[in-house]
Amino acid sequence: MAEKRTVPAIRFAGFTDAWEQRKARDLFISTADKGYPELPVLSATQDRGMVRRDENSINIFHDKKNEIGYKRVLPGQFVIHLRSFQGGFAHSSMEGITSPAYTVFGFSEPDEHDSEYWKYVFTSKEFIRRLEAVTYGIRDGRSISYDEFLTLDFTFPCKKEQTEIAQHLDELSNLIALHQRKCEKLKNIKKSMLEKMFPREGAAVPEIRFAGFTDAWEQREFSKLVERGSTFGADKKLPRVEYEDIISGTGKLNKDIYAKVNSKVGLKFCPGDVLYGKLRPYLKNWLLSSFFGLAVGDFWILQPTSIDSRFLYFLIQSDRFEEVANQSTGTKMPRADWNLVSKAEFAVPSGSTEQERIGQFFLNLDNLITLHQRKLEKLQNIKKSMLEKMFV
């Protein structure tokens, strides 16, 4: 049997001592301190640790009379959830009380450990994998046996190195949260602009408009704006686009489709065509093409005739178009109804210049969202790698 490593693959400069190995029973001690009904009630979450119940989005009814029997939780302690499928060890940064059904534990030698470091240990993939040996039950979210948890071995550094690791991961976590907020903010801006830069049903102009444009928009039947591509092809040199290749709601491909080995027959499309997934249109499988290819599956190939392709691409993302397209046929496998969509009327700027301005505005917004999303994914991958290499 290979000897267990006593140092991590990546380590901060200045630390050279081997890490210590001890049983959980030597490190942790459970508490059941009750009789503090004046403290705030805390709820356990998978991603935010222990949070105030009155600030949590999930409203759980409980009888305040029972709070006298709730367990006290101190900053730096951990709470084990009853039913856990993603680790279930919630770190608390505040004082409060929680359900008596939960296990509350802290360090037997608090001055020797940094709880922020152990927060990352208990949310690491390796630890969650090890939990399989100390859980019971047959459903998802099986219960964790605290007594069995105490039998696990842990290899850990001195407190100073624990703090260095925790601070590094905290900085990464804060940066990830920042980019997550930026992504969500940009997505909300796009959603709002799609509502305000396309007229509501019956309106002649949108709520928000670029300066210099004053003409009323024209009501145009969709079939007068586009043609449906209907030519099938099987050219092996052309890349195939399938539902599984598109990131829903983004219009981005999730892989290099040129690397796919595929001989399926599909509908031909050209640069500037818009692919619209008609099967379950609420899944938002659409793409503004910049290349020649074949669409395999339930796609409409929308070829602009008297409309700017970029404007068309965002028109199909508007509330008005989604409302029409989701009046689908079928129940188990609903599909957008072309007869209904093609005859529906949509407001369109009379001049191509305004269409181009709107299309370019949303493309720029999409590119900004993609930029922050890539930064976010890069940071998440860095954190994942650090969690694998900075622990034993």
- 207: in domain: no
Whether residue 48 is found in the same domain as residue 127: yes
What is the distance between the alpha carbons of residues 256 and 60, in angstroms, rounded to a whole number? Answer: 46
- 210: in domain: no
**Residues sharing a CB contact under 8 Å with residue 284, sequence separation 6 or more, in sequence order:** 248, 249, 277, 317
Residue 16 tokens read as: 């050279």
- Count of CB atoms situated within 10 Å of the CB of 98: 25
Q: Does residue 110 contact residue 76 with C-beta atoms inside 8 Å?
A: yes
Whether residue 391 is found in the same domain as residue 268: no
- 211: in domain: no
Sequence length of the chain is 392
- 209: in domain: no
pTM of the shown model: 0.80
Residue whose C-alpha is closest to residue 346's, from 317, 389, 384: 317
Looking at residue 142, what is its pLDDT? 62
Q: Does residue 240 contact residue 266 with C-beta atoms inside 8 Å?
A: yes
Whether residue 62 is found in the same domain as residue 131: yes
Looking at residue 87, what is its pLDDT? 66
Partners of 345 in the beta sheet?
221
Looking at residue 320, what is its pLDDT? 92
What is the distance between the alpha carbons of residues 305 and 223, in angstroms, rounded to a whole number? Answer: 9
pLDDT in tens, 125-168: 888 888 877 776 545 556 788 999 999 999 999 999 999 999 99
| Cα-based distances in Å from 85 to 80, 82, 140, 340 | 11, 10, 6, 45
Q: Does residue 317 contact residue 371 with C-beta atoms inside 8 Å?
A: no
Q: Of 313, 329, 348, at which residue does a domain stop?
A: 348
Whether residue 194 is found in the same domain as residue 92: no
Whether residue 331 is found in the same domain as residue 375: no
**Residues sharing a CB contact under 8 Å with residue 230, sequence separation 6 or more, in sequence order:** 267, 301
Whether residue 248 is found in the same domain as residue 272: yes
What is the distance between the alpha carbons of residues 15 and 68, in angstroms, rounded to a whole number? Answer: 46
Q: Where are the alpha helices (DSSP H) in 35-108?
A: none
Looking at residue 131, what is its pLDDT? 82
- State how many domains the chain has: 3
301: left (phi over 0), alpha (psi -120 to 50) or beta: beta
- 275: in domain: yes
- 317: in domain: yes
- Count of CB atoms situated within 10 Å of the CB of 90: 28
Q: Does residue 358 contact residue 314 with C-beta atoms inside 8 Å?
A: yes
Whether residue 189 is found in the same domain as residue 280: no
Residue whose C-alpha is closest to residue 73's, from 48, 101, 53, 103: 103
Whether residue 335 is found in the same domain as residue 310: yes
Whether residue 124 is found in the same domain as residue 237: no
**CATH classification of the domain holding 186:** 1.10.287.1120
| Cα-based distances in Å from 211 to 70, 146, 215, 365 | 61, 65, 12, 19
Residue 383 tokens read as: 């954190």
Helix, strand or coil for residue 247?
strand
Whether residue 229 is found in the same domain as residue 344: yes
Residue 91 tokens read as: 């770190």
What pairing do the DSSP bridges indicate for beta strands 232-233 and 266-269?
antiparallel
Measure CA 2 to chain center: 38
Q: Does residue 335 contact residue 279 with C-beta atoms inside 8 Å?
A: yes
- 102: in domain: yes
pLDDT in tens, 371-388: 999 999 999 999 999 988
Whether residue 337 is found in the same domain as residue 230: yes
The ranges of the chain with pLDDT < 70 are 1-5, 56-63, 82-87, 136-142, 329-331
**CATH classification of the domain holding 103:** 3.90.220.20
- 61: in domain: yes
Residue 297 tokens read as: 């599956």
Residue whose C-alpha is closest to residue 157's, from 360, 12, 47: 12
Looking at residue 329, what is its pLDDT? 67
Residue whose C-alpha is closest to residue 322's, from 229, 271, 249, 267: 249
With tokens 């907020």, the residue in question is: 181
Instruction: Print the domain residue range for 361.
Output: 159-198+351-392
Measure CA 170 to chain center: 20
Whether residue 173 is found in the same domain as residue 281: no
